[in-house]
Amino acid sequence: MFEYCYPRLDANVTKGMNHLLKSPFTVHPKTDRISIPINLNSLRYFDPYYNQTSLTPFVDVFARFVQGLQTSKQDKVLAKSGQLFLLLYVVHHDLFILDLNTMLSGEI
């Protein structure tokens, strides 16, 4: 029964009922995209193909950073530029958990 109760957002979900949705912030093994929580109030602005949900550019930045550790301290700025890209999605996730805890405690 539960297999019919969750939304199907992945193309492979329609091929089999045992295909599960990803947990937040997990990485898809083939695409390197990060599973992120989304704010349903701003769903119309959500772009699933937006670059910032992919690890690929940040792996490149990290590789340059690691190489730069041996040559220069200035390359640390490259690593810091990618540290906050998931912050918005972490906030959405935290707000969801907060609302869920409030609902379960009977305060709503």
Cβ contact 27:34 at 8 Å: yes
**Is the pTM for the entire model greater than 0.85?**
no
Task: Report pLDDT digits (tens) over 7-24.
Answer: 555 566 556 555 555 677
48-106 pLDDT per residue, tens: 777 566 666 666 776 776 666 555 554 444 445 455 566 677 777 888 888 888 888 87
SS3 29: coil
Q: Which residues pair with residue 33 across a beta bridge?
A: 54
Neighbours of 58 (CB within 10 A): 21
Q: Cα–Cα distance between 40 and 13 in angstroms, integer?
A: 21
